[in-house]
Structure 1
Amino acid sequence: MDEDLIERAQNGDRHAFGLLVERHYDFVHSIAWRWSGHAVDAEDIAQTVCLKLAQAIRTFRGASRFRTWLYTLTVNAARDHQRSQSRERRNAANYLADPTSDAANDNHDQAEALWAAVRQLPEKQGDAVLLVYGEGLSHAGAGDVMGCSEATVSWHVHEARKRLKILLGRETV
């Protein structure tokens, strides 16, 4: 079904483009949220992706799956957004929950701390972790998105795990 909508959107059919955006908006938003860690930023990134998609849809040639191409478009928009934010906004302390929160929020707090630590990783390591654990892609699928081999993704994930242990205070240097 996407193929038909893509072709129609590439030919200027606004209704088809709207349906395509509607079908994939939640996917784009969830990626944006994982990358940014903030609902407001995720919404901004998702809107940016929709605008970029309107311009870029004509360049989609089907060499990869549409969802993989859209994922890459979203990741690039998220990176651009992060670059435009101040260092204070990206500081991991801003992502941690209030320490007085009750026990019901502990799992959420731990997840927030983990994703905040992931955002501190070097770019390729963070990409690999987000693709494999955040999006559930295989190492081969992540390699397709990142433009590298499956083995390289595995190496980035391995290195990221070591750094995350340090960043989360579970291991000393």
Structure 2
Amino acid sequence: MVNPNKVFRTNSREERKILQEISDEHLVREFKKGNLEAFDHLVQKHQDRVYRLTCLWLRNGDHAEDATQEVFLRAFKGLPNFRFVASPLTWLYRTAKHVCSEYNRKQVFENLDESTQVSGNRPELKLNQKQIAEEIRNRVDSLPRRQKEVVVLRYFEEFSTAETAKIMGCREGTVKALLHKALQKLKQVEGSI
């Protein structure tokens, strides 16, 4: 068993590994007790995921950096009142969603090409995979806003239906219905990919 207090004292390379084993709930409780280092660890643990999500929603790296900073600023101000109704990560993602909505209500996703890693030296394969990624991005972009959100949360960020519902502020049935409609629309154009 990992000693949760050890992470607050170590600066070694193993800190990240240890940090991943510490629950978000523990870090939030420590922060609520006044341990500012616990908040730093929470940021280290989730800043990459929050940044990726803001990139997907804003489609602009500079805006995503600003939005990520705003998310953690709001977290710093809001976590002292956190009630553990949802997980801290779900709360962070929901905060990110609100921040991104404020930054740019029209744009939701960044270009998927940045996240698509193509291996091998065959240029025709790279081009084909780039074209597929571009086509997927275009098809997802053509979905209504709420359907886009559910697709990115369920398939790109791999949240459960329950977590997606909490982040979106709706019921699980609504998430399932939105996902079903989105997948139907995407399947209609599947033959063109």
Question: TM-score higher than 0.5 here?
Answer: yes
CA contact (8 A) 1:34 1:115 kept: no
Which stretches of structure 1, 4 residues or longer, exceed 3 Å deviation after superposition? Answer: 94-97, 162-171
Please name the residue that 2:95 is paired with.
73
Given residue 21 of structure 1, which amino acid in structure 2 is its aligned partner? V
**2:35 maps to which of 1, 4, 13:** 13
5+ residue gaps, structure 1, are none
Looking at structure 1, the residues matched to 182 and 91 of structure 2 have their Cα atoms a distance apart, in angstroms, of 24
SS at match of 1:161: helix
Matches within 5 A, 1:77-92: 77-83=99-105, 90=107
Distance 1:78 1:111, change over 3 A: farther
CA contact (8 A) 2:67 2:100 kept: yes
- Once the two structures are overlaid, the 10-residue window that deviates more, 156-165 or 110-119, is 110-119
Please name the residue that 1:138 is paired with.
160
Given residue 110 of structure 1, which amino acid in structure 2 is its aligned partner? I
**1:22-66 deviations in Å (ceiling 9; x for gaps):** 111111112112212232232222111121111111221111111
Percent identity between the two aligned chains: 30
Please name the residue that 2:14 is paired with.
none
1:107 CA displacement: 2.3
Q: Which has the higher helix share?
A: 1
**1:47-90 deviations in Å (ceiling 9; x for gaps):** 1112111111122111111111111111111121113xxx7xx4
Q: Are residues 1:59 and 2:81 paired?
A: yes
Looking at structure 2, the residues matched to 152 and 68 of structure 1 have their Cα atoms a distance apart, in angstroms, of 17
5+ residue gaps, structure 2, are 1-21, 114-122
Looking at structure 2, the residues matched to 150 and 124 of structure 1 have their Cα atoms a distance apart, in angstroms, of 13
TM-score, with structure 1 as normaliser = 0.75
RMSD: 3.1
Please name the residue that 1:42 is paired with.
64
Distance 1:168 1:76, change over 3 A: farther
Looking at structure 2, the residues matched to 91 and 142 of structure 1 have their Cα atoms a distance apart, in angstroms, of 16
Q: Are residues 1:148 and 2:190 paired?
A: no
CA contact (8 A) 1:117 1:168 kept: no
TM-score, with structure 2 as normaliser = 0.68
SS at match of 1:148: coil
Given residue 130 of structure 1, which amino acid in structure 2 is its aligned partner? V
Decide which structure has the larger Cα Rg and report it.
2
Please name the residue that 1:160 is paired with.
182
